[in-house]
Amino acid sequence: MDRDGTLTEEVGYVNHPNRLRVLPQSAEAIRRLNAAGIAAVVVTNQAGIARGYFSGEVLAAVNAALVSQLKDGGAHLDGVYVCPHHPTEGEPPYRLVCDCRKPKPGLLLRAASELGLDLGRSTLVGDKASDLVAARAVGARSVLVLTGYGLGEWEYRRSTFPAPPDHVAEDLLGAVDWVIEGLRP
């Protein structure tokens, strides 16, 4: 799943752990994945690193706060994968035409390789068209959530989507329930 706008509130660049707001149903959503034996993995673009808005240490602290708040809610993340790059902003090494900034699929490929996931049986949940494209690129299904940018993306921009979602859900919990229902025989 995507982080900002999907798992957490879309608040712009999260340059301090105190700006992180886990969405109300997110811990329940991750708990349901945990209970179903489905890996719960975050894949997030954080170009604020390349742009110099915050450091790698701050990013690590923000993601640690995310893991900790979910843990307090009884929910476990199996992995957090970050693209810190931007193709044209900032300075090397983060100013880079990388293979991991969504819509490119590099984060998904890395997660699958390191965690032993079958992307053809995976679903990417996100709030932007770029999330859906990344899913399509690896043969995964996709769900657009209407949190974060999702409502505007769906209401005003869906005719421009290069890869339509397989499902649209109110939020991450709705997306997770759709995934789990799809597993029933």
CB atoms within 10 A of CB 183: 10
96 close to 103: Cβ distance less than 8 angstroms: no
Q: Is 48 in the site for Mg ion (CB under 5 A)?
A: no
Task: Say whether 2 is catalytic.
Answer: yes
Contacts with Zn ion, residue ranges (CB under 5 A) = 83, 85, 98, 100-101
169, amino acid identity: A
Nearer to Zn ion by Cβ, of 105 and 150: the residue is: 105
Q: Is 84 in the site for Mg ion (CB under 5 A)?
A: no
Nearer to Mg ion by Cβ, of 127 and 166: the residue is: 127
Task: Say whether 118 is catalytic.
Answer: no
Binding partner selected for residue 136 from Mg ion, Zn ion, none, CB under the kind-specific 5 to 8 Å limit: none
Q: Is 127 in the site for Mg ion (CB under 5 A)?
A: yes
Binding partner selected for residue 4 from Zn ion, Mg ion, none, CB under the kind-specific 5 to 8 Å limit: Mg ion
> What is the DSSP code string of 12-53?
S---SGGG--B-TTHHHHHHHHHHHT---EEEEE-TTTTTTS
Nearer to Zn ion by Cβ, of 31 and 85: the residue is: 85
83 close to 46: Cβ distance less than 8 angstroms: yes
CB 139 to Mg ion: min, Å: 21
Q: Is 166 in the site for Mg ion (CB under 5 A)?
A: no
11, amino acid identity: V
Using a 10 angstrom Cβ sphere, with 0-12 exposed, 13-18 middle and 19 or more buried, the burial of residue 9 is: middle
> Where do contacts with Mg ion occur on this chain (CB under 5 A)?
2, 4-5, 127
Catalytic positions, please? 2, 4
